[in-house]
Amino acid sequence: MEKKQAVTGIQAVVFDLDGTLVDSLEDIAFAVNTTLTAHGRQAHSLDAYQTMVGWGLKKLLVTASADSPFSGPEFDGVYRELLTLYRSRPVVATRAYPGIEGLLDGLKSRASLGVLSNKEDGMTKIIVSTLFPQTGFRAVCGSLADRPHKPDPTVLREMLNEWGVAPRACAYLGDSDVDMETAVRAGVVACGASWGFRGAEELIRAGADEVFPHPDDFRAWLERRLERN
């Protein structure tokens, strides 16, 4: 197996959103279950959504309705209903994980910070601006129809190029295999947030360089690697 390059100075940290910065599962489940049951489909438990999320709301609707799928124009209409419902109540139960606000406060003057999510771009920006108004992220990027989604590394690479940051000087923190694949393909440091929706085993299997059980552990790891200018 090829030995990975050692991690020395970190200049940038890019975060996944759902399951990493915020616990949004209850609001997501409410929107999807409400939409499903309105169209005669079966709702799912909150735990079931932990393994279904990660690919964006449209893919989630496909997965959640797999037993009785919507098709063609019907799917498009139901998806618009789902998106409208979720947009109307994006931050009801959604909260930052314990330790995240302290992590961001300690980083905002010391590293370039960004968010890269497969959640629809408008919703990503709403949630970040609502819960982290003082952080000063240099970029907050969600899913756009004309841009590749994670695990494609294009948007992450573009973000770093704009900042003038080399890949191995960036830590990408996420909670799923999608995030770790994105990080590996981009050549950045793949950091797993095992406090999120999936857990350590999936993150390790997907190629995480490091796995952290709590934001404070990630903060301590960064403290030893942040470049001091």
pLDDT in tens, 183-225: 999 999 999 999 999 999 999 999 999 999 999 999 999 999 9
Rounded mean pLDDT of 34-57?
Answer: 93
Model confidence pLDDT, tens digit, residues 101-128: 999 999 999 999 999 999 999 999 999 9
How many C-alpha atoms does 136 have within 13 Å on its Cβ side?
8
Both 16 and 33 in a single domain?
no
Tell me: pLDDT of 140 over 70. yes
Both 109 and 212 in a single domain?
yes
52 pLDDT band, cuts 50/70/90, is very high
What's the pTM value of the predicted model, to 2 decimals?
0.91
Tell me whether residue 60 is in a domain: yes
Tell me whether residue 41 is in a domain: yes
Tell me: pLDDT of 81 over 80. yes
Both 41 and 132 in a single domain?
no
Residue type, 200: A
Both 144 and 184 in a single domain?
yes
Strands (E), the chain: 12-15, 22-23, 95-96, 112-120, 139-143, 170-174, 189-193, 210-212
7 pLDDT band, cuts 50/70/90, is low
Mean pLDDT over the full length of the chain: 93
Tell me whether residue 1 is in a domain: no
Q: How many structural domains compose the chain?
A: 2
Both 19 and 29 in a single domain?
no
Tell me whether residue 176 is in a domain: yes
Both 40 and 131 in a single domain?
no
Rounded mean pLDDT of 130-137?
Answer: 95
Tell me: pLDDT of 177 over 70. yes
Residues 135 and 202: their CA atoms lie apart, in Å, by: 29
Domain membership of residue 147 as a residue range: 12-23+95-223
Contacts of 23 (CB under 8 A, 6+ apart): 94, 95, 96, 97
Tell me whether residue 110 is in a domain: yes
Identify the pLDDT of residue 3: 46
Tell me: pLDDT of 26 over 50. yes
Both 164 and 82 in a single domain?
no
Both 81 and 102 in a single domain?
no
Both 17 and 108 in a single domain?
yes
